[in-house]
Amino acid sequence: MKPYLLILISFCFFGFNLMAQELETEMELSYSKSSLDSVILSAILLDEDGEKLSGMDVEFFYSKMDSLISLGQITTNQDGEAIISMSYTPVLFSSTDRRVEFKAEFKGNDEYYETEVSLEIQDAILRMTPEIIDSVSTLSFQLTTWDEEGEEIGVEDGEIYIFVPRLFGLLPTGDAWTDEDGQDAVKFPTDIPGGNLGELMIIAKIEDHESFGNLETSQMTSWGVPPSENEGEVRALWSSKPPLWMIVTFVILMSAVWLHYLYILIKLRQINTDGKNEEKLIL
């Protein structure tokens, strides 16, 4: 066989193998616990270029007595995310210090290599108590976990973010920072619009804690300003009266869009008229 044919065959063979190689993958795992006694595990599956992979099966586990217990298998959505939700139960945190290791596993396929990720979580509780102290609307917080003897202890330096829900997400209203006993108290704003009777949901979160993951608790209060008392409210993103700068910006943008449409119509009409004039000259 001629040398150049051997080179061509070798190139095609190795090129085909290169194309058939599986691609590397990686996965990110997060843990969230809410006051509704629910636990959510979320795994995001990515390829080697950081692109999110949809339609892939991810299985979740938790460790117990040095063995892995399956929590179920979920297919990633269009955002490459597999989410599994379960009721919070002490069975998950059966050790004395209430620690547990979660694991997410993608077994791979003909196109992508397998990958897995583990996350160790220390169980914790975030408590929020709305109360009136010296005629001031106050939010009192307590963040606790468990030590190696199984005793509940306070957590120092826990950063707590406070929100109220709004139409397009959550509005930040402040934050708290726990002391050595795991406690803090902050004043809550008195000018936030609420429902017809002043009802207002308050949400507190600890986000991406290295030991606890994400914690959330919420309470319904009557600390909102009813619509009937809100007529003289300031213009703000969270109020029914948007800021003037937002109105002006919207008007300018919409005017620019319609002016562009008008300009295009004028140019099209001008082109049509010029074309007819040229036809008349030719005739």
What is the pLDDT, as a whole number, of residue 14? 47
Angle at 37 between CA 155 and CA 158, to 5 degrees: 20
Pair (71, 137) in one structural domain:
no
Pair (192, 256) in one structural domain:
no
Domain with residue 135: its CATH number is 2.60.40
- As to burial, measured by CB atoms within 10 angstroms (0-12 exposed, 13-18 middle, 19+ buried), residue 186 is middle
Of 91, 122, 153, the one marking the end of a domain is 122
What is the pLDDT, as a whole number, of residue 115? 95
Q: What is the domain extent for residue 163?
A: 124-229
Pair (80, 157) in one structural domain:
no
What are the φ and ψ backbone dihedral angles of 75, each rounded to 5 degrees? -90, 135
Q: Using the predicted structure, report yes or no on whether residue 185 has a pLDDT greater than 60.
A: yes
Which tens digit of pLDDT belongs to each residue from 232-280?
A: 555 665 555 677 778 888 889 999 999 988 999 888 888 877 776 666 6
From CA 42, how far away is CA 60, in angstroms rounded? 9
Provide mean pLDDT across the span 12-24.
Answer: 57
- Give residues with Cβ within 8 angstroms of 165, minimum separation 6: 171, 201, 203
What is the pLDDT, as a whole number, of residue 235? 60
Q: Does residue 155 contact residue 179 with C-beta atoms inside 8 Å?
A: no
Does a structural domain hold residue 1? no
Does a structural domain hold residue 254? yes
- Give residues with Cβ within 8 angstroms of 53, minimum separation 6: 25, 45, 46, 47, 76, 80, 112
Pair (85, 149) in one structural domain:
no
Which tens digit of pLDDT belongs to each residue from 30-85?
A: 999 987 788 999 999 999 999 999 999 999 999 877 788 999 999 999 999 999 99
From CA 185, how far away is CA 195, in angstroms rounded? 25
Does a structural domain hold residue 3? no
Pair (153, 247) in one structural domain:
no
From CA 175, how far away is CA 158, in angstroms rounded? 10
Closest by Cα among 144, 153, 152, 150 to 126: 144
Does a structural domain hold residue 263? yes
Q: What percent of the chain has pLDDT over 90?
A: 58
Q: Which two tokens stand for residue 256?
A: 């620019």
> pTM value?
0.71
Of 89, 122, 155, the one marking the end of a domain is 122
Does a structural domain hold residue 139? yes
Q: Using the predicted structure, report yes or no on whether residue 223 has a pLDDT greater than 90.
A: yes
Pair (158, 114) in one structural domain:
no
Of 122, 144, 178, the one marking the end of a domain is 122
Sequence letter at residue 138: T
Number of domains the chain is built from = 3
Does a structural domain hold residue 208? yes
Does a structural domain hold residue 7? no
Strands (DSSP E) along the chain, which ranges? 25-34, 38-47, 57-64, 67-75, 81-87, 99-106, 115-122, 124-133, 136-146, 152-154, 159-166, 169-177, 183-187, 200-209, 213-221
Taking all residues of the chain, what is their mean pLDDT, rounded to a whole number?
86
Q: How many CB atoms lie within 10 A of CB 40?
A: 16
Domain with residue 91: its CATH number is 2.60.40.1940
